Amino acid sequence: MSIFELAAVAAAMTWAFSAVIAAGPSAELGAIAFNRLRMGIVLVVLAVFVALTGGWRTLETAHIFPLVLSGFIGIFLGDTCLFLTMNRLGPRRSNILFSTNAPISAVLGWLFLGETIVGQKILGIAIVFAGVVLAIVFGKRRSQLSTWEAVKGPMWLGIALGMGAALCQSIGSLIARPVMETGVDPATASTLRVFVSVVCLTALMATGIRAVQPRAKLTLKTASIVGLSGISAMGIGMTLILFALSGGKVGIVATLSAATPAWILPLIWIKTGERPAAFAWLGAGLVILGSSLIFAA
């Protein structure tokens, strides 16, 4: 395995680690307050990095609107839906649902960018969704008592939010893709997208609506975990994947980095002391297999 492929594996592991440590603070603070704090910390880190590297010079006026729209849909709506899902269904189910962004992106690329969708991609899409169904419906044993396996509220609503998160992420990426192909610095584009998310989340909380206010008082410990979650996912994880793409084969890198639903299972096992059900492992494996067929087509 090359260093680029190892970087892709490390990125998937980093995203899994971020999801596991984010579950507690997200439930404690609420999805909106948690996401604003997380994105705010990430924004500061990205802004400093871009200022030091001079990445702003690659940004042109024509790039701003699509990146703003991409940030609104992909990060503000997408990440908010993701953490709302996590608070309802736990990190395992939310990550398996979010993995459907791969087949959704393939379909959107076919519909709006004229990309081909051959039989191999169709098979991959079917396998991904089969894996998701197995992991969601049969991925919990009756003997498991962890709160992360408990469903809070209607299951259908959690699934709808998880699929919405994947859809928003795919749409956000679709909008940003033509801009990124012009050579815009990825960190600069991410900074603008995250800035839009922070502004929207702050405006939402400023409405005074009780449901979007913090559920608990912020402590230094919670803030530290939130910061570690954001920096590990959007700082370290994204840096690793960009490095992997700089020298690795796109299909292999994309497949290895899509393995987050599998990596999250042993982390949950370590955290809760409860072995995930067999169908949780099988479902995650099918998601990775289906993603590999989609990316390799």
Beta strands in 226-283 (DSSP E): none
Structure confidence at residue 289 (pLDDT): 92
Structure confidence at residue 279 (pLDDT): 93
Residues of the chain with pLDDT under 70: 1, 245-246, 250-251
Residue 215, CA distances (Å) to 34, 79, 150, 158 in order: 10, 18, 20, 20
pLDDT in tens, 158-170: 999 999 999 998 9
Structure confidence at residue 126 (pLDDT): 94
The rounded distance, in Å, linking the Cα atoms of 195 and 220 is 23
- Ranges of each domain in the chain: 3-296
Residue 204, CA distances (Å) to 197, 198, 201, 210, 224 in order: 10, 10, 5, 11, 23
Structure confidence at residue 70 (pLDDT): 94
Number of Cβ within a 10 Å radius of residue 265: 22
Can you tell me which residue has the tokens 């608990």? 216
The rounded distance, in Å, linking the Cα atoms of 104 and 140 is 26
Structure confidence at residue 133 (pLDDT): 93
The token pair at 114 is 């004229």
Structure confidence at residue 26 (pLDDT): 95
